[in-house]
Chains A and B, each alone.
Chain A
């Protein structure tokens, strides 16, 4: 791979100083004179009809300026399910945490007092939390169209995939392995809680948001509030994280806007941490049933998979359970039911369909390797995907290198041993798992100006969700311009001054917007070639909204293999990751420093998902018990091992300088790698996440 001048060299974030010195103004830091504060009243029940709601006492409280309920606000939050309407305030309420009312008042204490003065008469209804139960005949009906949740086209059908003949494949097998795995609801647990500040000037609305995509957020606010697009401005200059649960616009953006309209003053709505856990989106819990046919030599003959995803009562995202496509196999049948339940809503969370699905398939494949007395590495080298769905070649393929070079760097051969081997109560073991995530190419825009002082100003609609997108865009522009990074400043996060950028979801920003930056620079170079360098007050402007060529008859993926070593204290049931290595093929690495941070962050999240994180529900009352960082056992610094990162750079002809994707692939193999390491250490396989002390002692003590 040819070396470049700027791209490929570690660069600190362009806004690092502002962020670490507290000078960066996040949405929660904003204040507008005369601004009101809002709070939301939420359902304490998982399913209930509101018979009567009386807001008179709240309205009479001095300082209260506006109250919204389902009786005076019929705004539909349009993102997601197109068949069943999700209002800002629903009746019936369908999960513990569903919004019942919102209040704007002169300060947050008055607002909170006011929501407690709202008198709601609930008729509680039966509820269901388990997705498989929810599909059974006679289950509680959560939406009028039934509990198999409609997709974004309004169709009610399972996510399916099949090739070959599954019965034939199973009959050809020397051995058939049948197993089931499960995963739980987890919260994204991003640092910045949900916040929006809405301000009307005439019929023009500005929403200072905490969003993963100002452009999409703007489009959806305009759609949901029935406003012309040009009347909506969305600003997010600094963003404190979302990991997928701040895609598009959200109910808090819309509630702030509607309260501001009603009160005639700007309104800031900020959630509490607990609300952030229960009222928005986490990872969908799953139940997974597998049947895998295999020949004695380890050749796969059939993979049959049936899965259930619990989407909560309003579907927003796919609900898919991914992973079987990691293996080449002539006969595959996959059937996934995304099901409505009365739990917190599930939607995107870093590699939405993957870490839990990979946990299932990679645990099972690991099990099969051991049963066949094969080294798990050899089994994967034999069976890993070489073509997408055994059909399309990949635009570039680094999975073999991720596994082989990762295993070498991790010293797999030295560390791997027979399961449960070793004397004494403290056992060590190693495990590995593979992962893949799409690296789509697509549309975004960029504008770049050059003044006569030789300074470049790049306008891109990124919000930088923590991925260092601002820095990435500046690096790409500097490389293409052939100028030092310091010559390029970035204007971002404001729809009034930035062109369209794809939402920062699907690990797409570098590929989409980065490609647009290159094209905008090319346009600028052409302008300069045509008209000369700018003189005096002149400014030359290049812009682009490219529609990049889609990979032809091929699939574009980023790949990864993770390796974990754990220490399990078999008497205390304590599992701890002591060594970790993540090998990634993300094409060309634009910024090794921030890419390494992405991988470390994703791996850390995965370790937490493997070992202790869960939003636990009381099954009798249908309410979450441990919302928040303390109760849900989010990873702390002390839980995080030293994580080694190895980039296997492949040449890819798409994307900016051949960059693929990184943010989401970083979490994908981690859960399974840790789970497999625990098996290697103890000889016991825990099939239900998280692998807690309770479960470990249940099989070890």
Chain B
């Protein structure tokens, strides 16, 4: 592990200034991902900008009918918050499925959203697109855990459990940079490798994801997160689904379906969402939704199983919301 210094900014302005100073700086929140990457020499920051020294970044506040969740809230706190559990169930369920209790105690919401991919080629230091090279080794290598949608030139899958939930909730991301704050919809935060294969989102080097705004909970809205793991704990999603339905007398008024584990970004299914509007969620409709969910899938040599898996996960998760 290369030596680095730790900086404790007093406020966001100072934190951004530290990031802009030209030194090789990394933001640290919980540090659960960053420390591992430093130890593996995947990143070699000169300075860690410690956001925990800034007060108030881990709070949940009521705002404009909805709530604003500080990016530094731990995944454990988030998953246990009564209001989140009740009104934004999909997010609480996603947060409690992350990693292990230790990771959820240290890891933060913003950190989970901005987590780097867990592709084994990237994490083992192969000179891949994510490590500054010009090859994706998974394309013709061991790609059983890789993308079936949106791949190319990189075939990573986005590793976050909370990101699909946030998109399904129509969240807004608050980003602070040198010229102040900007707010972007969750769905526009993530970007495909064909835009920039080295990165997973639009965050600039001197920008910080500070908070996430969730719109007011509406009556009849229900959501859930289903995560398929390769063992019962401590793996990233093989495939996951965050689904939020607005129901009125058993009729679906609006739907959001966002998948994890299948694409380099959280993968929304607008066509499937549209199929559900105005309908009862019957087993037949859920099965059709599953079929529609895999339209356009491009599996690689070793991840063909993700296609039927995705189909089943969408069907099951929809039906579980109807129960």
Contact B305 A573 (CB under 8 A): yes
Contact A626 B120 (CB under 8 A): yes
The complex places the Cα of A636 from the Cα of B232 at a distance, in Å, of 7
**Of the candidates A112, A630, A693, A701, which one forms a contact with B238 in the assembled complex, judged by CB atoms under 8 Å apart?**
A693
Contact A574 B228 (CB under 8 A): yes
Interface string of A492-515 (1 = CB under 8 A from B): 000000000000000000000000
Contact B308 A697 (CB under 8 A): yes
Asked whether A382 is an interface residue with its Cβ less than 8 Å from the other chain, the reply is no
Residue numbers in A under 8 Å from B140 (CB-CB): 620
Contact A639 B231 (CB under 8 A): yes
Asked whether A32 is an interface residue with its Cβ less than 8 Å from the other chain, the reply is no
The residue among B41, B124, B126 with the most chain A CB atoms within 10 A of its own CB is: B124
Segment with Cβ contacts to A, from B213-221, B251-259, B309-317:
B309-317
Residue numbers in A under 8 Å from B235 (CB-CB): 630, 633
Asked whether A62 is an interface residue with its Cβ less than 8 Å from the other chain, the reply is no
Q: Other than the known A571-B315, A618-B142, A621-B126, what 19 A-B pairs have Cβ atoms closer than 8 Å?
A: A113-B3, A571-B312, A572-B313, A572-B316, A573-B309, A608-B231, A612-B231, A620-B141, A625-B142, A629-B234, A633-B231, A635-B231, A692-B230, A693-B230, A694-B144, A694-B302, A697-B305, A698-B305, A701-B305
Contact B3 A109 (CB under 8 A): yes
Closest to B232 in A: A638
Contact A630 B234 (CB under 8 A): yes
Contact A616 B231 (CB under 8 A): no
Residue numbers in B under 8 Å from A574 (CB-CB): 228
Residue numbers in B under 8 Å from A626 (CB-CB): 120
The complex places the Cα of A694 from the Cα of B305 at a distance, in Å, of 6
Residue numbers in A under 8 Å from B309 (CB-CB): 571-573, 693, 697, 701
Asked whether B233 is an interface residue with its Cβ less than 8 Å from the other chain, the reply is yes
Smallest distance from the beta carbon of A604 to chain B beta carbons, Å? Answer: 12
Residue numbers in A under 8 Å from B315 (CB-CB): 571
Interface string of A606-648 (1 = CB under 8 A from B): 0010011000101011010110011101011111000000000
If A626-B120, A693-B238, A701-B305 touch, does A571 touch B233 (CB 8 Å cutoff)? no
Residue numbers in B under 8 Å from A608 (CB-CB): 231
21 A-B residue pairings within 8 Å (CB atoms): A425-B312, A572-B313, A573-B305, A611-B231, A616-B142, A618-B137, A620-B140, A620-B141, A625-B142, A635-B231, A636-B232, A636-B233, A639-B233, A693-B228, A693-B230, A693-B305, A694-B303, A697-B309, A698-B304, A698-B305, A701-B309
Residue numbers in B under 8 Å from A621 (CB-CB): 126, 137
The complex places the Cα of A199 from the Cα of B141 at a distance, in Å, of 46
The complex places the Cα of A638 from the Cα of B232 at a distance, in Å, of 6
Contact B233 A638 (CB under 8 A): yes
The complex places the Cα of A281 from the Cα of B19 at a distance, in Å, of 44
Closest to A696 in B: B305
**Of the candidates A576, A611, A618, which one forms a contact with B141 in the assembled complex, judged by CB atoms under 8 Å apart?**
A618
Smallest distance from the beta carbon of B39 to chain A beta carbons, Å? Answer: 8
Residues of B270-323 contacting chain A, CB below 8 A: 302-305, 308-309, 312-313, 315-316
Contact A112 B312 (CB under 8 A): no
Asked whether B173 is an interface residue with its Cβ less than 8 Å from the other chain, the reply is no
If A620-B141, A693-B305, A698-B305 touch, does A639 touch B232 (CB 8 Å cutoff)? yes
Contact A109 B124 (CB under 8 A): no
Number of CB contacts from chain A to chain B under 8 A: 78
The complex places the Cα of A336 from the Cα of B151 at a distance, in Å, of 44
Contact A109 B1 (CB under 8 A): yes
Asked whether B121 is an interface residue with its Cβ less than 8 Å from the other chain, the reply is yes
Interface residues on B, range: 20 to 34
Residue numbers in A under 8 Å from B23 (CB-CB): none
Smallest distance from the beta carbon of B61 to chain A beta carbons, Å? Answer: 34
Contact B142 A701 (CB under 8 A): no
Residue numbers in A under 8 Å from B232 (CB-CB): 576, 636, 638-639
Asked whether B2 is an interface residue with its Cβ less than 8 Å from the other chain, the reply is yes
The complex places the Cα of A591 from the Cα of B238 at a distance, in Å, of 42
The complex places the Cα of A698 from the Cα of B315 at a distance, in Å, of 19
The complex places the Cα of A401 from the Cα of B23 at a distance, in Å, of 71
Q: Using CB atoms and an 8 Å cutoff, list the residues of chain A in contact with chain B.
A: 109, 112-113, 116, 425, 571-574, 576, 608, 611-612, 616, 618, 620-621, 623, 625-626, 629-631, 633, 635-639, 692-694, 697-698, 701
**Of the candidates B230, B305, B312, which one forms a contact with A612 in the assembled complex, judged by CB atoms under 8 Å apart?**
B230
**Of the candidates B41, B120, B303, B304, which one forms a contact with A625 in the assembled complex, judged by CB atoms under 8 Å apart?**
B120
Contact B120 A113 (CB under 8 A): no
The complex places the Cα of A637 from the Cα of B231 at a distance, in Å, of 10
The complex places the Cα of A636 from the Cα of B231 at a distance, in Å, of 8
Contact B302 A701 (CB under 8 A): no
Residues of B126-141 contacting chain A, CB below 8 A: 126, 137, 140-141
Residue numbers in A under 8 Å from B234 (CB-CB): 629-630, 636
Contact B230 A633 (CB under 8 A): yes
The complex places the Cα of A618 from the Cα of B126 at a distance, in Å, of 11
Residue numbers in A under 8 Å from B124 (CB-CB): 623, 625
Smallest distance from the beta carbon of B46 to chain A beta carbons, Å? Answer: 14
The 9 A-B residue pairs whose C-beta atoms are closest, nearest first, are A638-B232, A701-B308, A571-B312, A697-B305, A625-B120, A636-B233, A638-B233, A694-B305, A639-B232
Residue numbers in B under 8 Å from A635 (CB-CB): 231
Contact A625 B231 (CB under 8 A): no
The complex places the Cα of A620 from the Cα of B137 at a distance, in Å, of 10
Residue numbers in A under 8 Å from B305 (CB-CB): 573, 693-694, 697-698, 701
The complex places the Cα of A226 from the Cα of B238 at a distance, in Å, of 53
Smallest distance from the beta carbon of B241 to chain A beta carbons, Å? Answer: 12
Smallest distance from the beta carbon of A629 to chain B beta carbons, Å? Answer: 8
Interface string of B184-220 (1 = CB under 8 A from A): 0000000000000000000000000000000000000
Smallest distance from the beta carbon of A62 to chain B beta carbons, Å? Answer: 13
The complex places the Cα of A642 from the Cα of B3 at a distance, in Å, of 46
The complex places the Cα of A697 from the Cα of B235 at a distance, in Å, of 19
Residue numbers in B under 8 Å from A618 (CB-CB): 121, 137, 141-142
Smallest distance from the beta carbon of B213 to chain A beta carbons, Å? Answer: 32
The complex places the Cα of A612 from the Cα of B145 at a distance, in Å, of 14
Smallest distance from the beta carbon of A688 to chain B beta carbons, Å? Answer: 14
The complex places the Cα of A639 from the Cα of B238 at a distance, in Å, of 16
Smallest distance from the beta carbon of A422 to chain B beta carbons, Å? Answer: 17
Closest to A570 in B: B312
The complex places the Cα of A696 from the Cα of B30 at a distance, in Å, of 37
Closest to B126 in A: A621
The complex places the Cα of A233 from the Cα of B238 at a distance, in Å, of 50
The residue among B1, B312, B316 with the most chain A CB atoms within 10 A of its own CB is: B312
Residue numbers in B under 8 Å from A638 (CB-CB): 231-233
The complex places the Cα of A58 from the Cα of B314 at a distance, in Å, of 55
The complex places the Cα of A608 from the Cα of B142 at a distance, in Å, of 21
Residue numbers in B under 8 Å from A112 (CB-CB): 1
Smallest distance from the beta carbon of B309 to chain A beta carbons, Å? Answer: 6
Residues of B224-277 contacting chain A, CB below 8 A: 228, 230-235, 238
The complex places the Cα of A635 from the Cα of B124 at a distance, in Å, of 22
Smallest distance from the beta carbon of A278 to chain B beta carbons, Å? Answer: 10
Closest to A631 in B: B120
Residues of B107-130 contacting chain A, CB below 8 A: 120-121, 124, 126
The complex places the Cα of A693 from the Cα of B306 at a distance, in Å, of 9
The complex places the Cα of A563 from the Cα of B6 at a distance, in Å, of 54
Residue numbers in B under 8 Å from A694 (CB-CB): 144, 302-303, 305
Smallest distance from the beta carbon of B236 to chain A beta carbons, Å? Answer: 9
Closest to B41 in A: A116
The complex places the Cα of A621 from the Cα of B126 at a distance, in Å, of 10
Residue numbers in A under 8 Å from B231 (CB-CB): 608, 611-612, 633, 635-636, 638-639
Residue numbers in A under 8 Å from B126 (CB-CB): 621
Smallest distance from the beta carbon of B40 to chain A beta carbons, Å? Answer: 8
The complex places the Cα of A636 from the Cα of B144 at a distance, in Å, of 22
The complex places the Cα of A113 from the Cα of B140 at a distance, in Å, of 34
Smallest distance from the beta carbon of A135 to chain B beta carbons, Å? Answer: 25
Closest to A690 in B: B230
The complex places the Cα of A47 from the Cα of B148 at a distance, in Å, of 34
Smallest distance from the beta carbon of A115 to chain B beta carbons, Å? Answer: 11
The complex places the Cα of A574 from the Cα of B309 at a distance, in Å, of 10
The complex places the Cα of A376 from the Cα of B120 at a distance, in Å, of 41
